[in-house]
Amino acid sequence: MSRESTVRIGLLLPDVLGTYSDRGNAVVLAQRLLRRGIDAEVIMVTAGSRSPGRCDLYVIGGGEDAAQSFATDWLLQHRDLRVALQTTRILAVCAGLQVLGQWIEDGHGRRQPGLGILDVTTSPGQRRAVGEVLTRCVLPGVGLLTGFENHRGMTHLGPDAAPLAVVMHGVGNGSPDGSEGALTPTVVGTYLHGPVLARNPVLADHLLQGVIGRDLPALELPDQEDVRDMHLALATHHPLERLGPVRAALHRRRSS
């Protein structure tokens, strides 16, 4: 896309999949462009709205079971959007990640088909995974990710899916391989709330660089580094001063 045009960020069903405050990801993406002098706008695609027109990037978040089921049906019924989602960049969090998969099994063993954009399937786990998470992202240069997970569904990656990250602390997808989230050339899927892009600005910039097709200059905001340090300590249950090696790795990443 050209440098002058406005980057359109589509926030999918914030009225339905808004329970875990993942709408903040859209705020972070838009602000990180605006503060670098690139026009951006957030398009709210609510359940009552008509087709939003093409967006450059979609964001979809987490919600309760009934909301997830509603969202899946709604997306399957909106053909234009469904087609757009096949080829557009997406950040999908929690229920949003599950909805993009092949199917989701509910507590009664019923399988609801998903959008089939990701080769993942989701079934209920033994217990809910709740707490701070620390992972190492497989994307080059992104480094450690922190977030807060809160989900019952456990996600299995099929042969055509790769994990976004490897779990260091927490549960993630809940599979024995210790994977967290899912990754394709266009989709970043994760269980991390926080919101994940507020906690991990490098991941936000990775998504944005994909959209605008060039590197972005560094952008420091007040409290951004302290948030990362604090959550790193929380996820590992260690006071910051004892986190020598991990923290050093984090800072190496940040300065690279």
Partner 1 sequence: MAAVAARRLRGGEGVATRGRVLLTLDPGALSHLAQGRHVVLVTGTNGKTTTAHLLAAALGTLGPVAHNATGANMADGAVAALATRRHAPRAVLEVDELHLTRIADAVSPAVVVLLNLTRDQLDRGSEVAAVATSIREGLRRHPDTLVVANRDDPVVVATVEGLPRVTWVAASAGWSGDASLCLRCGRQLATTPEWSCPCGLSRPPADWELHGESVCGAGSTTPLRLRLPGRFNLGNALAAMAAAHALGVPPGDASEAMSGLESVAHRYATVRHGPHQLHLLLAKNPAGWAETLPLLKDYPALLLVINAREADGRDTSWLWDVPFEGLASRPTVVSGDRAPDIGLRLSYAAVEHQTVHDPLVGLELLPPGEVVVVANYTAFADLWRRLAVMSRR
Residue numbers annotated as active site:
94, 193
Binding piece for partner 1, criterion CB under 8 A, among 2-10, 161-169, 219-227, 238-246: 219-227
- With binding defined as CB under 8 A, does residue 31 bind partner 1? yes
Distance CA 28, CA 207 (A): 11
Residue span binding partner 1 (CB under 8 A) among the ranges 62-70, 117-125, 158-166, 167-175: 62-70
| Residues 236, 230: Cα–Cα separation, whole Å | 10
Looking at the Cβ atoms of 56 and 132, the one nearer to partner 1 is: 132
Question: Both tokens of residue 3?
Answer: 């440098």
Smallest separation, CB 99 to partner 1 (Å): 15
Distance between CA atoms of 94 and 164, rounded to whole angstroms? Answer: 13
Span 108-137, contacts to partner 1 by CB under 8 A: 128, 130-132
Hey, which residues between 139 and 168 contact partner 1 (CB under 8 A)? Answer: 148, 150
Binding range to partner 1, per CB under 8 A, among 63-71, 102-110, 137-145, 237-245: 63-71
Residue 55 CA to residue 222 CA, distance in Å, equals 29
DSSP 130-186: EEEEEEEESSTTT-EEEEEEEEEEEEEE-TT-B-SEEEEES-TT-STT-EESEE-SS
Q: Residues 2, 4, 50, 66: which binds partner 1 (CB under 8 A)?
A: 66
Q: Judged by CB under 8 A, does residue 19 bind partner 1? A: yes
Q: Which of 41, 44, 70, 119 binds partner 1 (CB under 8 A)?
A: 70
Give the interface segment with partner 1, choosing from 2-10, 96-104, 177-185, 218-226 (CB under 8 A).
Answer: 218-226
Phi, psi angle pair for 7, to nearest 5°? -80, 125
Question: Which residues partner with 112 through β-bridges?
Answer: 104
Answer for the pair 102, 119: CB distance below 8 angstroms, yes or no. Answer: yes
Burial of 26 (0-12, 13-18, 19+ CB in 10 A): buried
With tokens 């009664």, the residue in question is 108
Site size for partner 1, by CB under 8 A?
37
Using rule CB under 8 A, residue 18 touches partner 1: yes
Mark residues 174-213: x for contact with partner 1 by CB under 8 A, - for none.
Answer: -------------------xxx--x---------------
DSSP assignments along 110-123, one per residue: -EEE---SSSEEEE
Instruction: Determine, following the binding rule CB under 8 A, whether residue 69 of this chain makes contact with partner 1.
Output: yes
> Under the criterion CB under 8 A, does residue 224 sit at the interface with partner 1?
yes
SS3 85: helix
Contacting residues toward partner 1, per CB under 8 A: 15-16, 18-24, 27-28, 31, 47-48, 64-67, 69-70, 128, 130-132, 148, 150, 193-195, 198, 221-224, 226-227, 230
